[in-house]
Amino acid sequence: MEDNTKIGMNRTGMQMSPVEGPSQAQFALSQPPSSEGGASALSEVRAQYVAQSLRVGSVPLPGTGKGVLATTVDKIKGKNPEVLINKLGQRLAFERSGVRLYQALITKVEASGHIRRAELRTDLLHICSEEAAHFHLLTGVMENLGADPTAQTPCADVSAVASLGLLQVITDPRTTIAQSLEAILTAELTDNACWELLCDLAAESGHGDLVQLFQQAVQSEAEHLVLIKKWLREMVLSEAA
């Protein structure tokens, strides 16, 4: 794997065909639409699907007596405990995916000939271990609440779809370490924001005991973000030098 940006025979731009390119653009402009309607008609169809569709899954009913009792008490208080369970399930799934992302990136770093791969590998292993610890933390929290940590909640489902492209970038053998770090940065930015939201949600839901646990995770995630940004900056600037 070449780990630097190279100039090569990239034929995707119109400048590579100074005669045929403009001619093709002009031909496209002169052709009628392939079907009736336009952007507004497309929006109307999409709006119909939105109005008629069901949601992405559901939060499972509590499978334990403890969970049923906690849900009943919260409902009597006028709260919606399923919102917290939904977001807990999302974070749990995201942390599990995060471990896989870092494992894939560590493999790529180990296979590279980068001069600082040992230092980068050490930082990535540290982050990966903390992501795994967050997964186990969330598993325990959900079990203590009487929820099922093995169930895929709606937000967990959506999160998995959204992060699929990140895994494809990192596991692609052609992508560089810098490109993979940029994909990881996307995940870390999401992770930071969602842990902060989870803290607020736990407090709003009356689970003050969870806030301190989650704030520790927020601090760890902030450190991850700093490390990834530092390494990405170093990798990109070293290429430009």
Q: Which of 21-25, 40-44, 128-132 has the highest mean pLDDT?
A: 128-132
Tens of pLDDT, residue by residue over 54-99, are 888 888 876 565 655 455 445 545 567 889 999 999 999 999 999 9
Whole-model pTM?
0.84
Q: Which of 128, 33, 142, 36 is nearest to 90 (CA)?
A: 142
pLDDT category of residue 22 using cuts at 50, 70 and 90? confident
Tens of pLDDT, residue by residue over 169-207, are 999 999 999 999 999 999 999 999 999 999 999 999 889
Is the predicted pLDDT of residue 1 greater than 70, yes or no? no
- The pairs formed by 115-118 with CB atoms below 8 angstroms and a separation of 24 or more are 116/234
106 by Cβ neighbours in 10 Å (0-12 / 13-18 / 19+) ranks as: middle
Structural domains in the chain, sorted by start: 80-240 (1.20.1260.10)
Tens of pLDDT, residue by residue over 91-147, are 999 999 999 999 999 999 999 988 898 999 999 999 999 999 999 999 999 999 989
Q: Which of 129, 229, 146 is nearest to 186 (CA)?
A: 229
DSSP one-letter string for the chain: ---S--------SGGG-TTHHHHHHHHHHHSPPSSS--HHHHHHHHHHHHHHPPPS--PPPP-SHHHHHHHHHHHHTT--HHHHHHHHHHHHHHHHHHHHHHHHHHHHHHHS--TTHHHHHHHHHHHHHHHHHHHHHHHHHHHHTT--TTS--HHHHHHHHHHHHHHHHHH-TTS-HHHHHHHHHHHHHHHHHHHHHHHHHHHHTT-HHHHHHHHHHHHHHHHHHHHHHHHHHHHHHHHH-
Residue 211, pLDDT score:
94
Structure tokens at 239: 């290429």
